[in-house]
Structure 1
Amino acid sequence: MSIKSLQEYKLIFWDFDGVIKDSVDVKTDAYLSLFPNASKDVLKRIKIHHLEYGGISRFEKIPMYLEWVGIQPTDQVIGQYLGQFANLVVQKVISSPWVPGVEQFLKQKPVYQKFVIVTGTPQEEIQEILIPLQINQIFEHVFGAPTQKSEAINWTLQNYNIKNEETILIGDSKTDWLAAKQTGIQFLLRETKISDFSIHYSGNKIKDFIGLL
């Protein structure tokens, strides 16, 4: 997909991990490090699931993974693991590499376009991450967990009275594609080699944002 076609959209939704920052591996490593006593098979299962469903929040993943490793997911236990996970990832996400070309792309946003983040990262955490990156002012809204991506998309479309066909979501996972499909907007995949969905997806996709300005 060319920048000319992207310029035609009035509203662009952005996933964060794997689209703005190359931080998917940071979170993969964090999930695996939470369960040092898990078997290799369970760790492999966790890794595959996380990579295939990158847009699902940790609030859904951690209780599931706890069950997979044989730990009862009580509210207290879930809270402890959520805290450990947050401590592992925030600074590493901030310092992780930009997806090539995306920083320049974001900072040269045309005035007529609106950019909105929809991410599985918790609301307070994604807002904390955006400030030192100096891109928080670029986005009209930032939606993090527990808000579902489809809910955020529908709210934004209604609030700004923008048509579905004037809108696109840039994501890197099956979860992002499903959110676009459920809300009737276009989808552009940021292609990676770590997801089976990315490898087999036959729609519009890009490897990076270099040359799109």
Structure 2
Amino acid sequence: MIIKEMKNILWDFDGVILDSMEVRDFGFKEIFKNFNEEQISLLIKYHRDNGGLSRYVKIRYFFETILNKDTTEKEINEYALKFSEIMRKELTNSQNLIMDSLNFIKQNHSNYNFHIVSGSDQEELRFLCHELNLSSYFISIHGSPIPKITLVKKLIKEHGYLSKETCLMGDSINDYEAAHSNGISFYAYNNKKLKEKGFNYIEEFKVFSFNT
């Protein structure tokens, strides 16, 4: 697969650079362990179907949709903090890195403008990138609670990037929506369901190239 004119690549993090889904499953199960298994299973399904959404959205969904219960920002933030504490402990293991995409990033970070735009908590995301020695490969690293659609919009505007020269690499339908709503290209990775939907799909980065 060859892309012409591409200069700016926005990377999702979970599922694209770091294989974190099972660890994040564990995190949600742990913070909601006092609720029944059926309710937690519904949350895990929502989490997996919407990998690009932030934990704040997923926690609110758990209370307001699954439990049909009102919640507050304070309560959501308290659960999000507990979740983040688990992630900081569990996700600093370099064995969770996806070497196919990471090797591409290492080999090309000086040739293109790389940024991370993720549904993960921004402070936690920057901590993980620092601990995993990833920070130097990216011009900037952005995460929730700001929605990804807004993050992409702000990033493109602040750096003056042209839409035709910018794309987003992601593994969820939410990543596609963030790209599409901002008028940039989307390339799916590490999620066969997206391939079945007909999106541009990267099987392996080692056979993926830019026409320079």
TM-score if structure 1 supplies the norm length?
0.86
The answer to whether structure 1 residue 64 and structure 2 residue 51 are counterparts is no
**Residue of structure 1 equivalent to 2:44:** 47
Offset, 1:80 = 2.7
Cα distance change on mapping 1:63 and 1:72 into 2, 3 Å: same
Return the alpha-carbon distance in structure 1 between the equivalents of residues 29 and 109 of structure 2: 40
The residue aligned with 1:106 is: 105
1:145 maps to 2:175: no
> For the aligned residues, what is the CA RMSD?
2.2
Letter of the structure 2 residue corresponding to residue 43 of structure 1: I
**Separation in 1 of the partners of 2:143 and 2:198?**
28
Q: Which amino acid aligns with 1:155?
A: K
Q: Which residue of the partner structure matches residue 24 of structure 2?
A: 27
User: How many Å separate the matches in 2 of 1:86 and 1:21?
Assistant: 16
In 2, the alpha carbon distance for the partners of 1:55 and 1:138 equals 21
Deviation at 1:151, TM superposition (A): 1.9
Q: Give, in angstroms, the shift of residue 42 of structure 1.
A: 2.0
Residue 117, structure 1, aligned to residue 116, structure 2: yes
1:201 matched to 2:197? The reply is yes
Q: Which runs of 5+ in 2 are unaligned?
A: none
AA of the residue aligned to 1:173: S
C-alpha distance after superposition, 1:88-129 (max 9, x if no partner): 112322215222312211111253410010011111111111
The answer on whether the counterparts of 1:191 and 1:199 sit within 8 Å (CA) in structure 2 is: no
- Post-superposition shift, 1:139? 0.9
Q: Which residue of 1 aligns with 2:127?
A: 128
Q: Partner of 1:176 in structure 2?
A: 175
Query: Quick one: structure 1 residues 61 and 126, their matched pair in 2 at CA, closer, same or farther if it must change by over 3 Å?
Result: same
Partner amino acid, structure 1, of 2:158: N
| Count of residue correspondences | 207
What is the TM-score normalised by the length of structure 2? 0.87
Amino acid at match of 1:80: E
Per-residue deviation, 1:134: 1.3
SS of the equivalent of 1:83 reads helix
Hey, what's the Cα distance between the residues in 1 that align with 2:164 and 2:194? 23
Taking the aligned partners of 1:207 and 1:50, their CA distance within structure 2 comes to 23
| 1:98/1:131 CA distance change after superposition, 3 Å | same
After superposition, the Cα gap between the structure-2 partners of 1:113 and 1:43, relative to the gap in structure 1 and judged at 3 Å, is same
Question: Does the C-alpha gap of structure 1 residues 205 and 59 become closer, same or farther in structure 2, counting only changes over 3 Å?
Answer: same
Question: Secondary structure at 2:119's aligned position in 1?
Answer: strand
Task: Report the Cα offset of residue 71 of structure 1.
Answer: 5.8
Unaligned runs of at least 5 residues, structure 1: none
The one-letter amino acid paired with 2:199 is: G
Determine helix, strand or coil for the equivalent of 2:51: coil
CA distance in 2, matches of 1:165, 1:148: 22
Q: Is the 8 A contact 1:172 1:191 kept in 2?
A: yes
What residue identity is the alignment partner of 1:88? Answer: I
The 8 Å contact of residues 101 and 211 in structure 1, kept in 2 or not, is answered as no
